[in-house]
Amino acid sequence: KGSLKDLADKKGYETFVVPDDIGGRFSVLSDVGLIGLAMANIDIEEFTAGFKSMREITGTHDFWKNPALVLAAVRHAAWLKGKKIEVIATNSNSLMPVARWMEQLFPESEGHKGHGMWLSTSLYSEKLHANGQMVQDGERNLLETFLVLERHDNNIDIPGDADNIDGLNFLSDRGLDMNYVNRKVIDGPAWAHFKGGVPNMTINIPERSAFNIGQLYYLMEKSVAISGYLFGHNPFIQPGVEAYKKAMFAMAGKPGYEDEAKKMAKAMAGQEKIIIK
């Protein structure tokens, strides 16, 4: 339904149904999500197999064997202890889209009735000088979660140098590679930030594959659902999003929002404007 569906029908395009009871942030395994993955040449059968695998893993009532329960409980406990911001940090460019999806998934699902943590995503080591300074020495209201890709596709050996000009022979002499360095980009900050008073947890992804990413998506979706219920509200709705849309449409003069526009104009009339030139 909607204008885009009408246009597609008019043009004779094939369409896929977006279920009415599935919000956009949970739609990765719906037709609308899978068609995009397939067009990106991602094996959607492996992806859905990862989804199903994590569904089975998180189906147990044994707390310590259920990563969705552990993740939800740790994040909820951190919030109860005054942690208001969660830093999602990764050592992989390929995991940044997942981190940015989490940046929508968690606030939109948890941000009800004064609850929930603000999410901030960081690629390490890129953000270690900027965001890393705040994490290390800023206000102690942070939780840090690491998404770690253990084996990268484009691994690079570290060559030695007779004069050790770059001071990296301590790595090449031991036959170490960039996978090792990328891991230390997480391990070093994790230790330093923890010693500085920031609790953290790490989610390890063995390698980049459709199966593993499918597992990760299901883990996050189930965990945030549990988290919402721990807060005591429905994690599958987003009533706050409608507030800004309503105000925006009223200000823009969209038909049907005349009453709202009048209410806003009346409320603004009594407010003093301060203009700085």
Mean pLDDT of 167-193: 92
pTM: 0.88
Residue pair 205/150 in contact by the 8 Å Cβ criterion: yes
What topology does CATH give the domain 61-208+219-236?
Answer: Rossmann fold (3.40.50)
Q: Distance between CA 77 and CA 199 in Å, rounded?
A: 11
Q: Distance between CA 45 and CA 34 in Å, rounded?
A: 10
Q: Distance between CA 140 and CA 193 in Å, rounded?
A: 10
Note the pLDDT tens digit of each residue in 88-106.
Answer: 999 999 999 999 999 999 9
Catalytic residues: 108, 129, 245
Amino acid 148: pLDDT? 94
Note the pLDDT tens digit of each residue in 184-195.
Answer: 999 999 999 999
Residue pair 185/127 in contact by the 8 Å Cβ criterion: no
Question: What DSSP line would sit under 39-98, residue for residue?
Answer: HTT--HHHHHHHHHHHHHHTT---GGG-HHHHHHHHHHHHHHTT--EEEEEES-GGGHHH
Q: Distance between CA 114 and CA 102 in Å, rounded?
A: 19
- Residue 1 tokens, joined: 């339904």
Q: Distance between CA 240 and CA 116 in Å, rounded?
A: 13
Is the confidence at residue 1, as pLDDT, over 80? no
Please report, for the chain, the start and end positions of each structural domain, with discontinuous segments joined by +: 61-208+219-236, 238-268
Identify the three-state secondary structure at position 124: coil
Q: Distance between CA 223 and CA 75 in Å, rounded?
A: 10
Cβ neighbors of 157 (< 8 A, separation 6 or more) are 172, 177, 178
Q: Which amino acid, one-letter code, is at 107?
A: P
